[in-house]
Amino acid sequence: MTLHLNAILSPQLLRDSALLRNSITVVIDVFRATTTIAVALENGALEIVPVGTIKDAEAKAKELRGRLGEKSVLLCGERGGIKPDGFDLGNSPLEYTREVIQDKILVLTTTNGTQALQAASAAPLVLAASFANMQAVVMFIMRYLVLHEARAMQLTDANNNTKDEQRIESICAFCAGSEGDFSYEDTLCAGALLEALATEFADGGYAYTTSDTAHAARNLYRNEAQLAQTLASTRHAEYLASLGFGRDVEFASTFGTSRMIPLRRTDGSLIHWHNPLNL
């Protein structure tokens, strides 16, 4: 099996959703949605429902509260980095403590991250990654590929046709970007993810090809000698710091603070994948 490593640097650069139909797609929004999602699941949130607009988020929270009770659902998110009026939580990962969110459903809408999660909906498997949980996501992808390949072999007939199973042909790092533009921090994170996968592929004997954007992201990350300082100097990091969220930038720039594997279910919500062997 030869896999293709790809990077899409902004949802607006996804020209055709068919590109994702045989892809494990990893959505990245370092500052801050996918970092916050990992933290929320780590601290006991039952699920996270990503929603595109503030109006739709309010409606979804109202619907869920009507079915599950007022205290079971939190309305969360930001626009321009700021928590909208009437919301329970903003988009700072440091707000999502166990005391606040454990055993709750979170309805989340953000400027970039939840839009990217929705834009990736054509993919058969969608994950959310950041520096916080990257290693966990990489290890999950490798386990998934091994078991997926084994299952595909079981379902292959004498004519080499795979029955009732969607073949995985690529891994796509899908950057949320910044309101349609390139995001340096998301591209660096994509490069780190793809570099880690390439290393695992080499160790595991997987052949792979690389798109130009994936190659560029990997080179960007490989040539970065001062990651934390560079991340802190990005436009969005400086904007967040100006709003008083400098600690968020520092936290989101740190590897390995979460073991969570946020995975999109068929209904669009995100949960932690508790049993990676049950694929």
Domain ranges for the chain: 2-35+112-272
Residues 6+ apart with CB under 8 A from 193: 26, 28, 129, 134, 137, 138, 173
Q: pLDDT value at position 279?
A: 44
Note the pLDDT of residue 164: 46
Q: How far apart are CA 142 and CA 30, in angstroms?
A: 22
The HSE-up count of residue 252 (CA atoms within 13 Å, CB side) is 33
Residue 278: per-residue pLDDT: 46
For residue 173, the number of C-alpha atoms closer than 13 Å in the C-beta half-sphere is 38
Q: How many CB atoms lie within 10 A of CB 98?
A: 12
CATH number of 2-35+112-272: 3.90.1560.10
- pLDDT for 167 equals 87
Q: What is the mean pLDDT of each run of 10 residues along the chain (279 residues)?
A: 95 93 97 98 97 98 98 98 98 98 98 97 97 97 87 58 71 96 97 98 94 98 97 98 98 97 96 64
**Are the beta carbons of 176 and 113 closer than 8 angstroms?**
yes
Tell me the residue type at 100. V
**Minimal CA–CA distance to 77: which of 116, 112, 30, 128?**
112
**pTM of the predicted model, to two decimals?**
0.94
DSSP-derived secondary structure letter, 161: P
